Structure 1
Amino acid sequence: MVILNIFFKNFDILFFFIQKISVWNSPYTRTQQTSETVLSQIENAHIKIKEDPRLREQEWGNFYTLDQAAKENEERKRHSYFFYRIKDGESGADVYDRISTFLETLLKYKDSLFESFQFQTK
């Protein structure tokens, strides 16, 4: 808890001059809770929180048994960890594409966004 208190004291100093903050969250409750906790320590700033479903962890599919998961992993090893799409899930390339479109959105609207960004993905 001491480390967290030191972090928040320094965090407040860091954002002393920033008046506007945009926070983009994934749809997960835990990221929203983390943002709320961190942002509650910032005073005198206009904070805008947005949710974007593209900011989420990789979807790993549904493994019904350990044997099925092991077979899927062996298949992945034979092909490519990055490009292999897990059944009912997504590949690393899928995640890359999804996040790339999010970053393109940020660049497209950069002039209309606030001065500072914070990303929460987990």
Structure 2
Amino acid sequence: MELTNHRAEHSTAEAGAATAGTGRPALPLSLTVVRHGQSTANAAFAAAEAVGALEVGISCRDADLGLTALGRRQATALGRRLASRSDGPPPQSLWVSPYLRAQETAALVLAELDDAGLPRPAVRTDERLRDRELGVLEMLTSAAIELHHPAEATRRRLLGELRWRPPGGESHADVALRLRSLLRDLYEEESSRRVLLVAHDAVVLMLRHVLDRLDEEEMERVTRAGAVGNTSVTRWSRGTDGRFELDCYNSAPHLD
């Protein structure tokens, strides 16, 4: 159930802070990114990791995994939070990962905005917001990786998540690279607008890396502090100097 996909017409703006008089478009007024609601894989992996299981019982593509009943409730609660305007005016544009769990989350958010009688944001699906690709290790538990791919498990610990690229997959740095490309388009097309992204935990983390200029050690501290929660909100607002300032990270009061 992929949402409407509007192709980008321009891709020439530079990523970075935009200020008046530079000849570059101003940054969006705000940039909010949320992780999708709980997916069937999130639930299956949590159960498998808790007991050290080797299998999670999932055979479909990662891109085709939908929301659980809990995930749908989380997405609805997120939509109500945005519709309540407790965080400020609602988004004017919505950019969404093509993966089913993100598409379903966005659809439930839009339904709440519609029910509140708010203007529907312009919707765009963008491939660059997809989840991190794990290649041959996709859908493998930690125990299965240690058993069947011990050399990769060792290399992962040695290199760290930012640099480690599984065979056929992506490092976190690879995700950051495609997000830099996305930001160039977003800055040009969404100047002085309120933008919402619905994506994945790796996208949230790498936006912190790019927008807050966090180095590898700082990113490790962020990840050690806790996982990016399902439907949690991370937001940057344009400051008086024309640069993004982090307002909140991994915030989810709507789930209390």
**What TM-score do you get using the length of structure 1 for normalisation?**
0.76
* Matching residue within 141, 152, 170 for 1:90: 170
| SS in structure 2 of the partner of residue 117 of structure 1 | strand
* Matching residue within 82, 102, 118 for 1:11: 82
Measured in 2, the distance between the counterparts of 1:81 and 1:13 equals 37
For residue 101 of structure 2, what is the aligned residue in structure 1? Answer: 30
Q: Deviations over 1:54-75 (max 9, x none)?
A: 1011111113864333320101
Q: Deviations over 1:31-70 (max 9, x none)?
A: 1111111111112303211000010111111138643333
| SS in structure 2 of the partner of residue 72 of structure 1 | helix
**Aligned partners of 1:24 and 1:52 also within 8 Å:** yes
Measured in 2, the distance between the counterparts of 1:96 and 1:33 equals 24
Equivalences for residues 50-69 of structure 1 within 5 A = 50-63=124-137, 66=145, 67-69=147-149
For residue 65 of structure 2, what is the aligned residue in structure 1? Answer: none
Measured in 2, the distance between the counterparts of 1:6 and 1:91 equals 32
Measured in 2, the distance between the counterparts of 1:6 and 1:57 equals 22
Residues 6 and 93 from structure 1, CA distance in 2 versus in 1: closer, same or farther, beyond 3 angstroms?
Answer: closer
| SS in structure 2 of the partner of residue 81 of structure 1 | coil
**1:39 partnered with 2:110:** yes
Equivalent pairs: percent with the same residue?
24
Give, in angstroms, the shift of residue 7 of structure 1. 5.8
**Which of 76-85 and 33-42 deviates more?**
76-85
Give, in angstroms, the shift of residue 6 of structure 1. 6.9
**Aligned partners of 1:31 and 1:120 also within 8 Å:** yes
Equivalences for residues 68-107 of structure 1 within 5 A = 68-107=148-187
Give, in angstroms, the shift of residue 86 of structure 1. 1.1
- Amino acid across the alignment from 1:32: Q
* Count of residue pairs the alignment pairs up: 118
Runs of 5+ in structure 1 lacking a partner? none
- Amino acid across the alignment from 1:39: L
**Aligned partners of 1:19 and 1:46 also within 8 Å:** no
Give, in angstroms, the shift of residue 81 of structure 1. 3.0
Measured in 2, the distance between the counterparts of 1:40 and 1:93 equals 34
Structure with more relative contact order (C-alpha pairs < 8 Å, separation 6 or more): 1
- Amino acid across the alignment from 2:126: D
Runs of 5+ in structure 2 lacking a partner? 1-69, 201-256
**Aligned partners of 2:162 and 2:173 also within 8 Å:** yes
Residues 45 and 7 from structure 1, CA distance in 2 versus in 1: closer, same or farther, beyond 3 angstroms?
Answer: same
| SS in structure 1 of the partner of residue 156 of structure 2 | helix
Measured in 1, the distance between the counterparts of 2:134 and 2:80 equals 38
